[in-house]
A = this chain, B = another copy of it.
Protein backbone atom coordinates (compact mmCIF):
# COMPACT_ATOMS: atom_id res chain seq x y z
CA UNK A 1 0.00 0.00 0.00
CA UNK A 2 1.31 3.47 -0.81
CA UNK A 3 1.69 5.93 2.08
CA UNK A 4 -1.22 8.12 1.00
CA UNK A 5 -3.63 5.19 0.92
CA UNK A 6 -2.50 3.92 4.32
CA UNK A 7 -4.66 5.00 7.26
CA UNK A 8 -1.67 5.23 9.59
CA UNK A 9 2.05 5.71 8.98
CA UNK A 10 4.88 4.88 11.35
CA UNK A 11 6.41 8.22 12.38
CA UNK A 12 9.32 6.82 14.39
CA UNK A 13 12.45 8.93 13.98
CA UNK A 14 14.87 6.20 12.85
CA UNK A 15 15.54 6.40 9.11
CA UNK A 16 16.36 3.86 6.42
CA UNK A 17 19.42 4.53 4.26
CA UNK A 18 17.32 6.17 1.52
CA UNK A 19 15.34 8.41 3.89
CA UNK A 20 15.77 11.86 5.39
CA UNK A 21 14.65 13.10 8.81
CA UNK A 22 13.59 16.73 9.04
CA UNK A 23 13.28 18.88 12.17
CA UNK A 24 9.92 20.48 11.43
CA UNK A 25 9.29 24.13 12.25
CA UNK A 26 6.09 24.85 10.34
CA UNK A 27 3.14 23.05 8.81
CA UNK A 28 1.27 24.72 5.97
CA UNK A 29 -2.18 23.10 6.00
CA UNK A 30 -3.88 23.16 2.65
CA UNK A 31 -6.82 25.54 2.32
CA UNK A 32 -9.49 22.88 1.96
CA UNK A 33 -8.30 21.04 5.07
CA UNK A 34 -8.02 24.15 7.25
CA UNK A 35 -11.45 25.38 6.20
CA UNK A 36 -13.01 22.03 7.08
CA UNK A 37 -11.27 21.93 10.46
CA UNK A 38 -12.30 25.49 11.26
CA UNK A 39 -15.90 24.85 10.34
CA UNK A 40 -16.07 21.55 12.24
CA UNK A 41 -14.64 23.27 15.32
CA UNK A 42 -16.97 26.25 15.15
CA UNK A 43 -13.94 28.48 14.71
CA UNK A 44 -12.63 27.79 18.25
CA UNK A 45 -8.80 27.88 18.06
CA UNK A 46 -8.30 25.45 20.93
CA UNK A 47 -10.68 22.94 19.36
CA UNK A 48 -8.91 23.22 15.99
CA UNK A 49 -5.57 22.61 17.67
CA UNK A 50 -6.93 19.56 19.44
CA UNK A 51 -8.37 18.23 16.19
CA UNK A 52 -5.05 18.58 14.36
CA UNK A 53 -3.11 16.97 17.20
CA UNK A 54 -5.54 14.04 17.23
CA UNK A 55 -5.19 13.50 13.50
CA UNK A 56 -1.40 13.50 13.70
CA UNK A 57 -1.35 11.23 16.76
CA UNK A 58 -3.76 8.70 15.31
CA UNK A 59 -2.52 8.66 11.70
CA UNK A 60 1.19 9.39 12.01
CA UNK A 61 0.68 12.12 9.40
CA UNK A 62 -1.39 15.31 8.96
CA UNK A 63 -3.89 13.69 6.61
CA UNK A 64 -7.34 15.25 7.09
CA UNK A 65 -9.74 12.28 6.94
CA UNK A 66 -12.63 14.43 5.67
CA UNK A 67 -10.96 16.30 2.84
CA UNK A 68 -8.32 13.67 2.11
CA UNK A 69 -5.76 16.43 1.82
CA UNK A 70 -2.76 17.57 3.81
CA UNK A 71 -0.48 20.46 2.95
CA UNK A 72 3.28 20.87 3.16
CA UNK A 73 5.93 21.58 5.80
CA UNK A 74 9.18 23.43 6.31
CA UNK A 75 12.11 22.54 8.50
CA UNK A 76 15.80 21.82 8.78
CA UNK A 77 17.37 18.59 7.59
CA UNK A 78 18.50 16.68 10.70
CA UNK A 79 19.84 13.50 9.11
CA UNK A 80 20.12 12.29 5.53
CA UNK A 81 20.56 8.57 4.84
CA UNK A 82 23.61 7.58 2.85
CA UNK A 83 21.64 6.46 -0.18
CA UNK A 84 18.96 9.17 -0.17
CA UNK A 85 18.58 10.47 -3.74
CA UNK A 86 17.22 13.86 -2.65
CA UNK A 87 20.58 15.62 -2.48
CA UNK A 88 19.92 17.18 0.95
CA UNK A 89 22.49 17.84 3.65
CA UNK A 90 22.03 18.29 7.41
CA UNK A 91 21.32 21.96 8.10
CA UNK A 92 19.53 22.62 4.79
CA UNK A 93 16.36 24.65 5.23
CA UNK A 94 13.74 22.94 3.10
CA UNK A 95 10.10 22.79 2.12
CA UNK A 96 8.46 19.49 1.20
CA UNK A 97 6.77 19.38 -2.16
CA UNK A 98 4.82 16.21 -1.56
CA UNK A 99 1.62 16.20 0.42
CA UNK A 100 1.52 15.91 4.19
CA UNK A 101 -1.03 13.18 3.52
CA UNK A 102 1.85 10.82 2.79
CA UNK A 103 4.59 12.21 5.06
CA UNK A 104 5.30 10.49 8.43
CA UNK A 105 5.10 13.20 11.09
CA UNK A 106 5.36 13.48 14.88
CA UNK A 107 4.72 16.68 16.85
CA UNK A 108 6.36 17.28 20.24
CA UNK A 109 5.19 20.75 21.36
CA UNK A 110 1.42 20.28 21.37
CA UNK A 111 1.27 23.05 18.74
CA UNK A 112 1.44 25.48 21.66
CA UNK A 113 2.61 28.37 19.51
CA UNK A 114 -0.24 28.06 16.96
CA UNK A 115 -3.11 30.49 17.34
CA UNK A 116 -5.42 28.27 15.25
CA UNK A 117 -6.40 31.20 13.05
CA UNK A 118 -4.66 30.24 9.83
CA UNK A 119 -3.28 27.17 8.10
CA UNK A 120 0.26 28.33 8.93
CA UNK A 121 1.13 26.20 11.97
CA UNK A 122 4.38 26.85 13.91
CA UNK A 123 5.39 23.52 15.36
CA UNK A 124 8.22 21.37 16.71
CA UNK A 125 8.62 17.77 15.73
CA UNK A 126 10.08 15.60 13.04
CA UNK A 127 9.07 14.24 9.65
CA UNK A 128 10.49 11.53 7.39
CA UNK A 129 11.06 11.97 3.66
CA UNK A 130 11.11 8.78 1.58
CA UNK A 131 13.52 8.08 -1.23
CA UNK A 132 10.92 8.92 -3.86
CA UNK A 133 9.96 12.21 -2.28
CA UNK A 134 10.43 15.80 -3.33
CA UNK A 135 11.80 18.68 -1.31
CA UNK A 136 13.22 22.06 -2.23
CA UNK A 137 15.93 23.96 -0.43
CA UNK A 138 14.43 27.35 0.38
CA UNK A 139 16.09 30.20 -1.50
CA UNK A 140 17.94 32.81 0.51
CA UNK A 141 16.79 35.71 -1.69
CA UNK A 142 13.02 35.42 -1.18
CA UNK A 143 10.92 35.82 1.97
CA UNK A 144 9.91 32.41 3.32
CA UNK A 145 6.11 32.96 3.04
CA UNK A 146 6.52 34.03 -0.58
CA UNK A 147 8.80 31.10 -1.42
CA UNK A 148 6.38 28.70 0.26
CA UNK A 149 3.44 30.08 -1.65
CA UNK A 150 5.37 29.76 -4.89
CA UNK A 151 6.54 26.22 -4.23
CA UNK A 152 3.13 25.12 -3.00
CA UNK A 153 1.65 24.89 -6.49
CA UNK A 154 4.77 24.74 -8.62
CA UNK A 155 3.59 21.82 -10.76
CA UNK A 156 1.15 23.94 -12.73
CA UNK A 157 3.57 26.34 -14.43
CA UNK A 158 6.03 23.52 -15.10
CA UNK A 159 3.51 21.30 -16.87
CA UNK A 160 2.07 24.30 -18.71
CA UNK A 161 5.55 25.17 -19.90
CA UNK A 162 6.08 21.65 -21.16
CA UNK A 163 2.76 21.41 -23.00
CA UNK A 164 3.08 24.83 -24.64
CA UNK A 165 6.68 24.12 -25.63
CA UNK A 166 5.60 20.89 -27.32
CA UNK A 167 2.80 22.70 -29.15
CA UNK A 168 5.18 25.39 -30.38
CA UNK A 169 7.65 22.75 -31.56
CA UNK A 170 4.86 20.77 -33.23
CA UNK A 171 3.59 23.80 -35.13
CA UNK A 172 7.00 24.40 -36.65
CA UNK A 173 9.28 27.37 -36.96
CA UNK A 174 7.71 30.68 -37.89
CA UNK A 175 4.14 29.57 -37.11
CA UNK A 176 2.16 31.54 -34.54
CA UNK A 177 2.17 30.13 -31.03
CA UNK A 178 -0.90 28.35 -29.64
CA UNK A 179 -3.83 30.29 -28.24
CA UNK A 180 -3.87 29.67 -24.48
CA UNK A 181 -6.84 30.21 -22.16
CA UNK A 182 -6.32 30.23 -18.39
CA UNK A 183 -9.44 29.75 -16.26
CA UNK A 184 -8.76 31.41 -12.92
CA UNK A 185 -5.95 33.56 -14.30
CA UNK A 186 -5.66 35.87 -11.29
CA UNK A 187 -5.02 33.05 -8.84
CA UNK A 188 -1.70 31.66 -7.72
CA UNK A 189 -1.39 28.73 -10.06
CA UNK A 190 -3.29 30.53 -12.84
CA UNK A 191 -1.07 33.60 -12.88
CA UNK A 192 2.08 31.54 -12.93
CA UNK A 193 0.74 29.21 -15.56
CA UNK A 194 0.04 32.21 -17.77
CA UNK A 195 3.55 33.48 -17.21
CA UNK A 196 4.98 30.03 -17.98
CA UNK A 197 2.91 29.81 -21.17
CA UNK A 198 4.25 33.19 -22.29
CA UNK A 199 7.79 32.13 -21.59
CA UNK A 200 7.28 28.91 -23.58
CA UNK A 201 6.23 30.85 -26.67
CA UNK A 202 2.44 30.92 -26.49
CA UNK A 203 0.47 33.08 -28.88
CA UNK A 204 -2.43 35.11 -27.49
CA UNK A 205 -3.15 34.33 -23.82
CA UNK A 206 -6.71 34.77 -22.62
CA UNK A 207 -7.22 35.09 -18.85
CA UNK A 208 -10.68 34.27 -17.53
CA UNK A 209 -11.77 35.56 -14.10
CA UNK A 210 -15.13 35.54 -12.30
CA UNK A 211 -15.68 39.23 -11.68
CA UNK A 212 -14.53 42.80 -12.20
CA UNK A 213 -12.51 42.80 -8.97
CA UNK A 214 -10.35 39.92 -10.18
CA UNK A 215 -10.13 41.46 -13.63
CA UNK A 216 -8.84 44.71 -12.17
CA UNK A 217 -6.32 42.82 -10.05
CA UNK A 218 -5.09 40.98 -13.09
CA UNK A 219 -4.91 44.08 -15.30
CA UNK A 220 -3.03 46.01 -12.64
CA UNK A 221 -0.60 43.25 -11.87
CA UNK A 222 0.12 42.55 -15.49
CA UNK A 223 0.68 46.17 -16.41
CA UNK A 224 3.90 46.19 -18.35
CA UNK A 225 4.32 42.41 -18.26
CA UNK A 226 1.12 41.59 -20.14
CA UNK A 227 1.22 37.88 -19.58
CA UNK A 228 -2.48 37.86 -20.47
CA UNK A 229 -3.36 39.61 -23.71
CA UNK A 230 -7.08 39.54 -22.98
CA UNK A 231 -8.92 39.48 -19.69
CA UNK A 232 -12.49 38.19 -19.85
CA UNK A 233 -15.12 37.77 -17.14
CA UNK A 234 -17.35 34.71 -16.86
CA UNK A 235 -18.48 32.15 -14.31
CA UNK A 236 -16.17 29.20 -15.00
CA UNK A 237 -19.01 26.83 -14.07
CA UNK A 238 -21.16 28.04 -16.97
CA UNK A 239 -19.95 26.16 -20.06
CA UNK A 240 -21.72 28.31 -22.61
CA UNK A 241 -20.55 31.55 -21.00
CA UNK A 242 -16.95 30.34 -20.81
CA UNK A 243 -16.95 29.19 -24.43
CA UNK A 244 -18.47 32.50 -25.58
CA UNK A 245 -16.02 34.60 -23.56
CA UNK A 246 -12.96 32.73 -24.82
CA UNK A 247 -14.28 32.66 -28.36
CA UNK A 248 -14.95 36.40 -28.27
CA UNK A 249 -11.39 37.11 -27.16
CA UNK A 250 -9.66 35.27 -29.99
CA UNK A 251 -10.46 31.66 -29.09
CA UNK A 252 -11.20 28.83 -29.15
CA UNK A 253 -8.06 27.96 -27.26
CA UNK A 254 -5.51 25.44 -28.44
CA UNK A 255 -4.56 24.88 -24.80
CA UNK A 256 -6.91 25.53 -21.87
CA UNK A 257 -5.61 25.51 -18.30
CA UNK A 258 -8.07 25.00 -15.46
CA UNK A 259 -6.94 26.61 -12.20
CA UNK A 260 -10.38 27.33 -10.72
CA UNK A 261 -10.73 25.47 -7.46
CA UNK A 262 -14.50 24.93 -7.56
CA UNK A 263 -16.39 21.94 -8.96
CA UNK A 264 -18.14 22.06 -12.30
CA UNK A 265 -15.58 23.72 -14.57
CA UNK A 266 -14.98 20.74 -16.87
CA UNK A 267 -17.65 21.55 -19.46
CA UNK A 268 -16.59 25.15 -19.99
CA UNK A 269 -12.96 24.18 -20.40
CA UNK A 270 -13.87 21.53 -22.97
CA UNK A 271 -16.19 23.81 -24.95
CA UNK A 272 -13.64 26.64 -24.96
CA UNK A 273 -11.02 24.39 -26.54
CA UNK A 274 -10.55 23.85 -30.27
CA UNK A 275 -10.91 20.37 -31.76
CA UNK A 276 -7.49 18.76 -31.50
CA UNK A 277 -6.60 20.98 -28.55
CA UNK A 278 -5.56 20.19 -24.99
CA UNK A 279 -7.11 20.83 -21.58
CA UNK A 280 -4.93 20.65 -18.47
CA UNK A 281 -6.91 20.21 -15.26
CA UNK A 282 -4.95 21.51 -12.26
CA UNK A 283 -7.92 22.08 -9.98
CA UNK A 284 -8.29 19.35 -7.37
CA UNK A 285 -12.04 19.94 -7.65
CA UNK A 286 -11.99 18.31 -11.08
CA UNK A 287 -14.30 15.33 -11.57
CA UNK A 288 -12.86 12.55 -13.70
CA UNK A 289 -16.26 11.39 -14.92
CA UNK A 290 -17.48 14.91 -15.67
CA UNK A 291 -14.41 15.45 -17.85
CA UNK A 292 -14.56 12.09 -19.62
CA UNK A 293 -18.30 11.96 -20.23
CA UNK A 294 -18.48 15.71 -20.89
CA UNK A 295 -16.01 15.59 -23.75
CA UNK A 296 -17.67 12.51 -25.17
CA UNK A 297 -21.09 14.11 -24.85
CA UNK A 298 -20.23 17.04 -27.08
CA UNK A 299 -17.98 15.04 -29.43
CA UNK A 300 -14.98 17.08 -28.36
CA UNK A 301 -11.71 15.71 -29.67
CA UNK A 302 -9.57 17.23 -26.94
CA UNK A 303 -6.64 15.75 -25.07
CA UNK A 304 -7.33 16.02 -21.34
CA UNK A 305 -4.44 15.92 -18.90
CA UNK A 306 -4.57 15.23 -15.18
CA UNK A 307 -2.41 18.03 -13.78
CA UNK A 308 0.45 16.06 -12.29
CA UNK A 309 1.98 18.12 -9.51
CA UNK A 310 5.42 16.76 -10.26
CA UNK A 311 7.51 17.74 -13.25
CA UNK A 312 11.29 17.52 -12.96
CA UNK A 313 12.75 20.94 -12.27
CA UNK A 314 9.40 22.39 -11.30
CA UNK A 315 10.58 24.09 -8.12
CA UNK A 316 13.44 25.84 -9.87
CA UNK A 317 11.22 26.96 -12.74
CA UNK A 318 8.66 28.36 -10.33
CA UNK A 319 11.26 30.29 -8.35
CA UNK A 320 12.86 31.59 -11.54
CA UNK A 321 9.48 32.81 -12.78
CA UNK A 322 8.76 34.72 -9.60
CA UNK A 323 12.18 36.37 -9.72
CA UNK A 324 11.86 37.28 -13.40
CA UNK A 325 8.26 38.52 -13.42
CA UNK A 326 7.58 41.40 -11.05
CA UNK A 327 3.93 41.26 -12.05
CA UNK A 328 3.53 37.69 -10.84
CA UNK A 329 5.38 38.56 -7.66
CA UNK A 330 2.99 41.46 -7.09
CA UNK A 331 -0.03 39.21 -7.58
CA UNK A 332 1.39 36.73 -5.11
CA UNK A 333 2.12 39.33 -2.50
CA UNK A 334 -1.42 40.60 -2.94
CA UNK A 335 -2.75 37.09 -2.34
CA UNK A 336 -0.57 36.62 0.72
CA UNK A 337 -2.15 39.76 2.16
CA UNK A 338 -5.61 38.19 2.00
CA UNK A 339 -7.13 37.57 5.40
CA UNK A 340 -7.61 33.88 6.14
CA UNK A 341 -11.26 34.38 7.06
CA UNK A 342 -12.17 36.20 3.88
CA UNK A 343 -14.75 34.36 1.82
CA UNK A 344 -13.22 32.80 -1.26
CA UNK A 345 -14.77 33.54 -4.61
CA UNK A 346 -15.19 31.14 -7.48
CA UNK A 347 -12.27 31.81 -9.71
CA UNK A 348 -9.64 31.96 -7.06
CA UNK A 349 -7.44 28.99 -6.73
CA UNK A 350 -6.78 27.44 -3.39
CA UNK A 351 -3.68 27.38 -1.28
CA UNK A 352 -2.14 24.34 -2.80
CA UNK A 353 -3.11 20.85 -3.70
CA UNK A 354 -1.84 18.71 -0.84
The answer to whether A309 touches B288, judged by C-beta atoms less than 8 angstroms apart, is no
Residues of chain B within 8 A (CB-CB) of A303 are: 305, 308
Counting every copy of the chain, the complex holds: 2
The answer to whether A286 touches B288, judged by C-beta atoms less than 8 angstroms apart, is yes
Chain A: residues with Cβ within 8 Å of the partner, total of 52
For A2, give its contact among B288, B297, B302, B354 (CB under 8 Å): B297
For A296, give its contact among B239, B298, B300, B310 (CB under 8 Å): B310
The answer to whether A310 touches B305, judged by C-beta atoms less than 8 angstroms apart, is no
A297 CB, min distance to chain B CBs, angstroms: 5
Q: Does A193 contact B (CB under 8 A)?
A: no
The answer to whether B297 touches A102, judged by C-beta atoms less than 8 angstroms apart, is yes
The answer to whether B294 touches A307, judged by C-beta atoms less than 8 angstroms apart, is no
Residues of chain B within 8 A (CB-CB) of A102 are: 293, 297
A286 to B4, CA, bound (A): 16
Q: Does A304 contact B (CB under 8 A)?
A: yes
A238 to B5, CA, bound (A): 10
Give residues in A with beta carbon < 8 Å to B: 1-5, 68, 97-99, 101-102, 132-134, 155, 238-240, 264, 267, 271, 281, 284, 286-312, 353-354
A-B contact pairs, 10 of them (CB 8 A): A5-B267, A132-B298, A132-B300, A155-B296, A288-B291, A295-B308, A295-B310, A301-B311, A301-B312, A305-B305
